[in-house]
Structure formats: C-alpha cells, structure tokens
Amino acid sequence: MAAGDVQQLLDHTPRHGTVGIRDYAILMLVARLELRSVEVARLLVDDIDWRAGEIVVRGKGRREDRLPLPADVGESLVAYVTGPRPRLDARHVFLTCKAPHGPIRADLVGDVVERACRRAGTRKVGPHRLRHTLAADMLRHGAGLTAIGQVLRHQDLATTALYAKVDFIALRAVAQPWPGTEAA
C-alpha cells in the first residue's frame, strides 16, 4: 500500500457521529503510531499522558512502551473521549457503540480499516498492512532497519527485515547490469 493510500483512508473516514469519531481515532492510532490491533483494543484512559504528550502502549510479551503523542492523534482521541464515547466508568478508551457497552475487541480494528478501504476505494487491507507500509516508506526515505525496528517496537531485527520488504521499483533504478551482459 502506498503512503498516499493511507492518507486516503483517513480522508474518507467521517469525523461525525459515534462510530465515525471513534473509527477515525482508531485509524489515527494505527496509521500514525503503527499500533497493532490488540494494542488499540487494550488502550486505557490512564495510558494517555495529556500533559506530557505521551501514550503508553501495552504490546507483545507484556512490554510497555512510551510513545510521543502527535497533536493530530491526540486531537482525534480528545474528540472521541470528550464527545460520543459512552459515559461509563470503563478504563478502556475504545468502547462498543451498541449496548451493552464494553471494550472493543482487537478484530474490530480490522473492521474499521476494512470499512475505510471501501470508502476510499482502495484495495482491502488489514491494519497490519499499514505497519508494512510505514516500514517500506521509511526504508525508501533512507532509514535503517534499526530505526524502523524502533518505530515498530520490534525486539528482533529479523522481524523488522520481514516488514521492510525490498522495494523492487527503487532497486531497479539503481541496479547495475551483470558484468558481461547488456543492460535491458
């Protein structure tokens, strides 16, 4: 998926109504912070430090990471939490829109991305594809695998290498013909 397609998903997500505001905030976390579906579903109100502009992400293996909270992501969260979010004593940020209200499941994040793809007219992808998109985009812009691994919060560089798949179009532009053969 191209980086522009990710922006299209955001541009075509409504920012009104209970579902639209919630889904936009979810998409912002997935597209801008590259959170996994389960990390979005586990996000607690206490995990957001509004004053410091940070968010605590509870990832794989009970790992907790503090990430900066970009202004646009923070604004989408504020719009949801102070707006149509059901008024419950729930600690989870994201709640179901239909009663009985409770924390969303991780698979709802995939549904949100799928609906955004349909609205934007792009091919259907899952939330994980957005992580691959970021890794490939960072690689194209000269970032090393170590930096990409830090952004994606990988513990193993081999995992990052799988995400940062080779950009064959960029590779063709710099590839040299094999010695003794003519360039095609």
Q: What letter represents residue 100's amino acid?
A: P
Tens-digit pLDDT profile for residues 8-52 = 999 999 999 999 999 999 999 999 998 999 999 999 999 999 999
Q: Where are the alpha helices (DSSP H) in the chain?
A: 3-11, 17-32, 37-42, 71-81, 106-120, 127-140, 145-152, 157-163, 168-174
End-to-end CA distance of the chain: 28
The domains located in the chain, with CATH, are 7-124 (1.10.443.10), 133-174 (no CATH)
pTM for this predicted structure: 0.84
Q: Per-residue pLDDT averaged across 116-141, rounded? A: 89
Q: Which residues are catalytic?
A: 36, 60, 128, 131, 154, 163
pLDDT band at 7 (very low <50, low <70, confident <90, very high): very high
